[in-house]
A and B are shown apart, each in its own frame.
Chain A
């Protein structure tokens, strides 16, 4: 039995996956934001030897989601590679994993500020923006967004406090007109939802959809915006969690007071 959270965005029905990926059933399209391949080795090159396994972990998590939805199209929302040299640092095994993923699916690599020019050997299309149906896919949310914008770049996170305990998790943020996806990469940090960079994107009420171990929870936001509904279906495939990390970045954004 799965327990998906479904929201509406500019008339389209979207499934928020607990892995942090976005699934658009009507177009059989799967979306990953801010994958940041080889972020670990980016620091390693500079003498800070982080475990060089983040790409593998990220690939494994991606593969699990892809196997579940079997998409016809996969969109990577930009910052798929942490830096310009990152593609060259993938090892053979990792390239094979990436090449085999979603075999048959069309890949669309949106360019990001970390990867303005993804390498051509990736295959698929490379674009700065991509529109389909009622939705527009881009890396950075636009100042004046079209309805139906799907973006990444900001790595939204939020902190949930209950019973004196505090939990920080990645989240989706949406007001029904636009959505910002959580970062997918294993080493990608996070930015608090209340940072002006995120909260200023939304004029009115908005909801935060937090990644739990096996499902997404609509927990916070401004006002009482809550568009999600549970889609309880009896699918045979067991739904496995892909991300169970608590994302606690060192960087603190400027958090504005909750109004």
Chain B
């Protein structure tokens, strides 16, 4: 984040400070006032407000847009305090200081960047303040030293905080901690990493009573949950920035019916890149980044420096792009959400968002990446890829201009994260269950945690928590005679340290590029990594897009996939899996409303306007509260298309459940396809006569859901993540898996056995809660079903409606009904037989 406090603030708060900040009751100490003056800056009102609150020992949530000098505001009180008198540890030599301020950021790059920016005022004011970072990259020797001789200010991540509080030195290290600064809190608080951070914060408050908490957040719809996360805080709002300048690229000539890539618009995107000095081109998935990058280069006649940045490129490659960006030598970077947050690249003057924004808050965050100066509008260009996305972009722009943002559905703290924390607590020191429970329940995500569930988690950590008490003799935690819980063996602490953290990556495999004609496995530099499951479905000779090239898969050798370059311009295997983020509930509501109001359609591009008008004429345009269900025949099949606008994940779950029901009703469904806005099902029988109220009844979330979950791959993946976070399955580390075949076991096998014998096990509970908000979005589906009850309008048509076309166009690439595994095997067998019988 930028440390530039920038030119005169647009408005000064009349309450907190007099016009001349340097002389009023809350004036800055002389060295600080001189420093601001020397740079021609005036402290911002919110910066002074934070100093004032800190002086009273109050915690603060600062909500301000990007470019408001937010990070400096968070640190100023600490710098002033430290400049006055660094905290000395009583009885120790003058050189040994106590940790004064802890800063936590979601990204380690951000922590490093903030440390660098903080060094500047400290050096220029000649303050004797030591600032250090602590990340996974910090050498072990320095990490050890930091525990005994800490700096004044330590900048780190939630995972490192978890490790610190799990160490024996924690009570001493944090005893004198005065302040903790949580950066980008909006991005962290409602996630598993947020749970980890909340538990860490609760511990810090135990170790350092009176600890001042400072939360820094981008603009949010409701700061309430963030204030709760901090354990109560005063709210300070930074001045609003200039309204952004958002345009939507939509041609009146052609708007595609479906697709997510916006390939039709690449010439316009290129023109936009030319018109700005430096652009960030945001897309929603890694695969889309690859394709967009390729498309742009295909028409890059001026050879503009356009780079690619996403999470699976080799780190060295990413660093290269980042430093080129910092030097200002790039005209554009095609990137994914990896750059939603992060370090300030002052020079960016335009943000281009390809595809739908998915949420108003996400859009604001991305737009904020352009122009880190508060007083100038950020420039953004939205590029919708299809007709529904035009509506979504319009809705998002309206929301941003009106200052309205999506609210989050608040999750409950994860039980798997709690298990990790309980083990970490025991590693630090024996714990008393009553006291630990009280501490955990003081953390906002766990305030509704039942004592019984807490006890089951302790039991899980100690011996696995099974009804069959097989492992009591091998317990990881044991009761001491005093009734506290301690770790049974030092190895347990070692195991904890290796498994800490809540980010579970899919197993990845290196992609190595080798020269043509060389035997597979010979040499080749690493281009990056891809998910193992993707590579596993490739056969030698298949082509796919990665690292900006079309590559030919040659084979897997040892632990890498080997590829060669190919001259093909089109890849055979698509790796696009739809949007990564579901459409936010808030934005969905706005899109539904836009669709329901013909009087405002004229603002839309002509093809979109016409599309909706014909829909109105031929079928029905649903009112905001309604769910439209259309049925029609087409090419010997019968279709049912509904429009919940609840995002792809919830639609996919709905599709699974509806096909089960239709199967039972004898409709013989063949398959379904889901996108962000609609769900289409096709069958051998006409579904027009089915009672839609009955079909969409909420009771599908009972037995049908349970039966489907048993075999759902998404659910098994959720279980695997929970099992790893909770410490049931150890993480896989690069190099570690090569210790022979079947060294370990599959989480799917464990899931099947556990579900059969102990369906109420606490880890299955954790999985269920996770799936409700995660990959299956059951919570959202359930709200939708409740909302539309009695408001379902069904329409029998003799042919496909305009609104149904996008859903139908996606059918070709979609799945078979349910998760019918055996259908896949049967097909494979038939194709083998066909091959064998070919003469």
Contacts and interface: CB of A to CB of B under 8 A. Distances in A.
A binds B: yes
Given A56-B757, A166-B537, A258-B539, A247 B748 contact: yes
B505 interface: no
Interface stretch (A65-73, A100-108, A129-137, A185-193): A185-193
A51 B753 contact: yes
B723 to A, nearest CB: 9
A98 to B, nearest CB: 17
A195 B557 CA distance: 10
B825 A57 contact: no
B532 interface: yes
Interface in B486-543: 489, 491-492, 495, 507, 509, 520, 532-533, 536-537, 539-540
Nearest to B470: A52
B537 A217 contact: no
A69 B717 CA distance: 36
Contacts, number: 201
Contacts of B574: 164
Contact of A39 (B730, B745, B748, B829): B745
B758 interface: yes
A254 B558 contact: yes
Interface stretch (A19-27, A120-128, A155-163): A155-163
Contact of B827 (A162, A195, A246): A162
Contact of B556 (A44, A46, A246, A254): A254
Contact of A249 (B465, B468, B746): B746
Interface in A45-103: 45-54, 56-57
A176 B428 CA distance: 60
B73 to A, nearest CB: 46
A41 B747 CA distance: 15
A169 interface: yes
Interface stretch (A7-15, A144-152, A207-215, A231-239): A207-215
B728 A49 contact: yes
Contact of A251 (B489, B737, B815, B829): B737
Given A219-B825, A226-B832, A165 B815 contact: yes
Contacts of B711: 244
B602 interface: no
A85 B521 CA distance: 40
Contacts of A169: 825
Given A44-B470, A256-B555, A162 B744 contact: no
A49 B749 contact: no
Given A47-B474, A47-B476, A53-B468, A210 B754 contact: no
Contact of A187 (B460, B749, B821): B749
Contacts of A212: 821-822, 825-826
Nearest to B755: A51
Given A57-B757, A251-B744, A52 B468 contact: yes
Given A155-B742, A250-B732, A257 B815 contact: no
B741 interface: yes
Contacts of B758: 51, 53
Interface in B693-740: 711, 713, 716, 728-730, 732, 737, 740
Nearest to B532: A252
B741 A52 contact: no
Given A162-B828, A167-B824, A226 B752 contact: no
Interface residues of B, number: 71
Nearest to A54: B753
Interface in B310-357: none
A167 B753 contact: no
B554 interface: yes
Nearest to B828: A219
A171 to B, nearest CB: 10
Contact of A161 (B460, B537, B746, B832): B537
A152 B825 CA distance: 23
A153 to B, nearest CB: 10
A165 B821 CA distance: 9
Contacts of B554: 257
A218 B829 contact: yes
Contacts of A255: 555-557
Contacts of B623: none
Nearest to A154: B741
A249 B744 contact: yes
Nearest to B558: A254
B540 A257 contact: yes
Contact of A164 (B537, B556, B730, B833): B537
B753 A187 contact: yes
A35 interface: no
A163 B757 contact: no
Contacts of B253: none
A200 interface: no
A53 B832 contact: no
B471 interface: yes
Interface string B741-775: 11111111110111011100100000000000000
B742 A249 contact: yes
Given A51-B464, A248-B746, A213 B474 contact: no
B756 A57 contact: yes
A220 interface: yes
B743 A251 contact: yes
A53 B756 contact: yes
A224 to B, nearest CB: 4
A44 B474 contact: yes
Contacts of A197: 741
Contacts of B728: 48-50
B749 A41 contact: no
Nearest to A253: B741
Interface in B537-586: 537, 539-540, 554-559, 574
B466 interface: yes
A214 B740 CA distance: 32
Contact of A250 (B495, B745, B824): B745
A247 B746 contact: yes
Nearest to A195: B741
Contact of A189 (B465, B471, B474, B742): B742
B72 to A, nearest CB: 46
Interface in B786-820: 813, 815-816
In the complex, the 7 A-B pairs of residues with the closest C-beta atoms, listed nearest first: A49-B464, A257-B555, A189-B742, A52-B470, A53-B757, A166-B537, A217-B825
13 contacts: A44-B464, A51-B758, A54-B753, A155-B742, A162-B824, A163-B816, A164-B813, A188-B749, A220-B832, A224-B835, A226-B833, A246-B748, A250-B737
Given A164-B815, A217-B822, A245-B749, 14 more contacts: A40-B753, A44-B464, A47-B489, A49-B465, A49-B728, A51-B466, A53-B756, A189-B741, A210-B825, A219-B832, A247-B746, A248-B747, A249-B746, A250-B745
